[in-house]
Structure 1
Amino acid sequence: MAEVHRVEEKTFEFEVPVVIVGAGAAGLVAALAAREAGADVLVIERDSVPRGSTALSAGLIPAPGTRFQKAAGIEDSPGLFARDILAKAHDEPDGDQVALVTREIGPAIEWLADNHGLAFSVIDDFTYPGHSARRMHGLPQRSGEELIDALRQAAEAAGIEILCDAHVTDLWADATGRVLGLGLVRPDGSTDEVGCGELILACNGYGGNKALVAEHVPSLSDALYFGHEGNQGDAILWGEALGAASRHLGGHQGHGSVAHPAGILISWATVTEGGFQVNLNGERFSNEAKGYSEQAAEVLRQPEGLAYTVFDERIAGIVRQFEDFRRAEAMGIILTADTPEALAERMNVPSGMLAETFAEVSRLKAEGARDGFGRDFSGVADLAAPYHAVRVTGALFHTQGGLVVDDAARVLTRDGAVLPNLYATGGAACGVSGKDASGYLSGNGLLTAVALGRLAGQAAGRRVAIPASA
């Protein structure tokens, strides 16, 4: 259980200028930035190797105005990206924070490429829902595992120590809220205490804490959790104990297309490029184009909490660039047939109803019409044989609410003051997705992980590099 102990002073066996809790994308980016600023850094990770929620993601980071976009002939800007975020989240996020992360993420991507060798490129063959430009950047395999491995290798090359198999359970802080150090537990039960100059919380949100999920996201309280089980809300609990402000704790990313029971993420391009979802009766049940986050709850409301994503070979050709989809095909869970009726047999759904659904979708596309759920089919290509389907369920990926931070990712108190030496990034900080699932724009998680991670590392690194009297 995460605890904060109030003390006037405490002696630690050793101290590190900058300590980071969590070795996901947010923590490792923060570590690289702090090290570059001249600080000695220790990253503490509860797992045996750095993975976190990053490894479970598609590893795609949205960024506007990058040289990768320009090379692909894509026009974009931080202002356009900010408008997309605010439109999707109903103007609920803090406008200054949205402007900050959309301004900082492009330079952060190019910094990771230039200084640390991450081979980014932009996805230029389809547009993610809610984005006005093609701005998703990823590494060659388009996987989160690839991204976290590249960041780990960069951290090791920079001489950053990553202490694994170490679960932080306690913080010690003085009366002003200054964190003096941390207590950690190893798998064999042994403990250590580490003093810190600056502390960066990069240990994500509370998606693995069923009690907090039931409190803040009741619609997904029984859903598959597709994040890291270590995301127990420690950062939020520590921050609140120190008097920190939190915001939008109900904000989260769901996903309506996780292969069942394989547990493999199926790219939402299967839908945005012209596919659709049906329940076990072969019927469509919602406007799939609203977004994959809010679609999680829609799928879970269907019989058995299951659905099928239906698409065709043209769309499959697009999503094969993602390692997850290639794994799904290798496992044999992507069903294929030459007619809707034959596909229905493979799916074990009523063939007549699925054929009617195919026909209705084809009609809507031909007429460029909007259906009864509100989905606009104008300009959407019709499906052509061979057809594909994959059985899916809805899942909770990660929470988006968290601690309120300033433009250097420093944690703020409830009255707006800055806590002396505490920073939050990634899922530990309040993101830019508003108060519920409908505000999540594709890539918002890694957007704040990388943008705020770099800002936190830069600020913490500079502070310990400057004499206290300066």
Structure 2
Amino acid sequence: MTIKPVPSEGFETTISVLVVGGGAAGLCAALAAHEAGAEVAIFERDPLPRGSTALSAGLIPAAETRFQKLHGIVDTPELFAADIRKKAHGEADDAIVDLVAAQSGPTVEWLADRHGLPFSVVHDFDYPGHAARRMHGLPSRSGAELIDRLRQAVEEAGLPLMVQAAVTGLFGDAERRIHGLEITRPDGTRDAIGCDTLILACNGYGGNPALVAQHIPEMQGALYFGHPGNRGDAALWGEALGAKLLHMSGYQGHGSVAHPHGILITWATIMEGGFQVNTNGRRFSNESLGYSEQAAAVIAEPESIAFSVFDERIATVARQFEDFRRAEASGAVIEADSIEALAVRLKLPADALGETFAAVAGLKQSGDADAFGRSFAGVAPLLPPFKAVRVTGALFHTQGGLAVDRHARVLDRDAHPLPNLFAAGGAAAGVSGAQASGYLSGNGLLTATVLGRIAGISAAKICSRLR
């Protein structure tokens, strides 16, 4: 993509802060900029803001919140930052890690107190890599509810949210200052809107097969479970401006998407003592490392298929998630009163599945780690009725993108901030490093909401200096 010169006829109108993208990052950015006193408008390509946020579980990890304290959960930003660094193999930008960990709690409480989002903490099971229970979600535990409530907050604030307004170009100058953007509507009409500052909160590149093949070849051809509009526009515009792209090989996968139903199955089914087998009825990995890296592990198995196996106790925990309840209603969750009957229903070798059950039961009793390095110590045995879901691995969203500083300003290749361009959400590089295994549960919405809020505040400050 190229950056267009400022149109000779000028702009139809000029607005202080323009936000590209109506997902969690864009809506948080718009709310924060508005509260800081700036005039704001949001541009969203779809008829209704949804994006990757709506496809997620809607969970935001945050440290030292009052929601944690209600359940006696002890947590600190420093502990959270250490968890992020450990999961990302030390590859993430230290300054950004410290920033998002420190601002995670204030951001969740800002959304709760200022905008009425009824958060609570998931307090009944652990997510891999988190040393404390810090995942915060809304009552349905769904991203659809999160995006709907954020949209409602934007509407109540009276902010213009332009839908079916695809941003098809940016206007800039030789100093790499953005002067506005071009929007194209479904009927082909185009408008040029001027701005003082621009926030890119639009997308990653998971919906662009060519970029996926270039940067994450192991996921080429995998099921893409993100928003199809994630075509990499932000990265391509950034490249044209000389911006630095960081950790483009990083991504969030998921090793438990019901197939062919296309419904996300919570990883609680695994972390509470379940396991995965392949079409031969055998386990094939350490499932407890994380659902992101498990995507590639599942895809590498025959037919790219696995079966998540658990029981009614675990299903009770999983039912707090709307997606799991929907999976049950659709028939994706198979139930049987015995291992033999479960094997028949799943069309798996009964002998192999029985041996796997026995091996896992033995590990739970002995407390030993298995050959893959997973420990089942302290986990309750599976009891009938048994449950299982046929799943595949999927690419959810990319974690690489535009490098930003602590003010969410986009950096050039020499680490200098561009004059008036900000990025958050899928447009910005996350804190997961360059590998799928670096993704800590919730990293996507963590950086979307925190960096989105920071981008809005920072953009508004620039606008106030221009007055």
Normalising by structure 1, we get a TM-score of 0.98
Q: How far is the alpha carbon of 1:190 from its aligned partner?
A: 1.4
Residue number in structure 2 paired with 1:268: 267
The letter of the residue matching 1:366 is: Q
- Give the secondary-structure state (helix, strand or coil) at the position aligned to 1:211: helix
The letter of the residue matching 1:454 is: R
Query: Residue 316 and residue 3 in structure 1: after superposition, are their counterparts in 2 closer, same or farther (change >3 A)?
Result: same
The letter of the residue matching 1:261 is: P
Instruction: Say whether 1:126 aligns with 2:130.
Output: no
Segment of structure 1 superposing worse, 166-175 or 145-154: 166-175
- Give the secondary-structure state (helix, strand or coil) at the position aligned to 2:81: helix
Give per-residue Cα distances to partners, 1:140-194, cap 9 Å, x unaligned. Answer: 1100000000000000000111100011111110111000111111111111111
Q: How far is the alpha carbon of 1:466 from its aligned partner?
A: 3.4
Residue number in structure 2 paired with 1:457: 456
CA distance in 2, matches of 1:46, 1:10: 25
Residue number in structure 2 paired with 1:195: 194
- Give the secondary-structure state (helix, strand or coil) at the position aligned to 1:394: strand
CA distance in 1, matches of 2:55, 2:415: 34
Residue number in structure 2 paired with 1:300: 299
Give per-residue Cα distances to partners, 1:49-68, cap 9 Å, x unaligned. Answer: 00000000000000000011
Normalising by structure 2, we get a TM-score of 0.99
Runs (4+) of structure 1 exceeding 2 A deviation are 6-10, 465-468
Instruction: Say whether 1:157 aligns with 2:156.
Output: yes
Residue number in structure 1 paired with 2:247: 248
CA distance in 2, matches of 1:303, 1:250: 25
Residue number in structure 2 paired with 1:317: 316
Q: How far is the alpha carbon of 1:204 from its aligned partner?
A: 2.0
The letter of the residue matching 2:453 is: R
Q: Output the aligned Cα RMSD.
A: 1.0
Number of equivalenced pairs? 467
Q: How far is the alpha carbon of 1:10 from its aligned partner?
A: 6.4
Residue number in structure 2 paired with 1:115: 114
Residue number in structure 1 paired with 2:10: 11
Instruction: Say whether 1:341 aligns with 2:321.
Output: no
Segment of structure 1 superposing worse, 223-232 or 377-386: 377-386
Segment of structure 1 superposing worse, 56-65 or 411-420: 411-420
CA distance in 2, matches of 1:321, 1:329: 12
Give per-residue Cα distances to partners, 1:323-373, cap 9 Å, x unaligned. Answer: 000000111110001111111111111111111110111011111011111
Residue number in structure 2 paired with 1:136: 135
The letter of the residue matching 1:158 is: A
Residue number in structure 1 paired with 2:144: 145
Q: How far is the alpha carbon of 1:462 from its aligned partner?
A: 2.3
Give per-residue Cα distances to partners, 1:40-80, cap 9 Å, x unaligned. Answer: 11100000000000000000000000011011110000000
Q: How far is the alpha carbon of 1:282 from its aligned partner?
A: 0.8
Residue number in structure 1 paired with 2:83: 84
CA distance in 2, matches of 1:300, 1:406: 35
Instruction: Say whether 1:363 aligns with 2:370.
Output: no
Work out whether residues 8 and 175 of structure 1, in 8 Å CA contact, stay in contact via their aligned partners in 2.
no
The letter of the residue matching 1:424 is: A
- Give the secondary-structure state (helix, strand or coil) at the position aligned to 2:4: strand
Percent identical among aligned pairs is: 64
Query: Residue 440 and residue 203 in structure 1: after superposition, are their counterparts in 2 closer, same or farther (change >3 A)?
Result: same
Q: How far is the alpha carbon of 1:9 from its aligned partner?
A: 6.9
Residue number in structure 1 paired with 2:434: 435
The letter of the residue matching 2:390 is: R
Q: How far is the alpha carbon of 1:101 from its aligned partner?
A: 0.4
Residue number in structure 2 paired with 1:386: 385
CA distance in 2, matches of 1:128, 1:187: 42
The letter of the residue matching 1:436 is: Q
The letter of the residue matching 1:220 is: M
Q: Which ranges of structure 1 fall in alignment gaps of 5 or more residues?
A: none
Work out whether residues 9 and 174 of structure 1, in 8 Å CA contact, stay in contact via their aligned partners in 2.
no
Residue number in structure 2 paired with 1:224: 223
Q: How far is the alpha carbon of 1:7 from its aligned partner?
A: 4.8
CA distance in 2, matches of 1:437, 1:415: 26
Query: Residue 151 and residue 202 in structure 1: after superposition, are their counterparts in 2 closer, same or farther (change >3 A)?
Result: same
The letter of the residue matching 1:135 is: R
CA distance in 2, matches of 1:113, 1:384: 39
Q: How far is the alpha carbon of 1:276 from its aligned partner?
A: 0.3
- Give the secondary-structure state (helix, strand or coil) at the position aligned to 2:239: helix
Residue number in structure 1 paired with 2:414: 415
Q: Which ranges of structure 2 fall in alignment gaps of 5 or more residues?
A: none
The letter of the residue matching 1:446 is: L
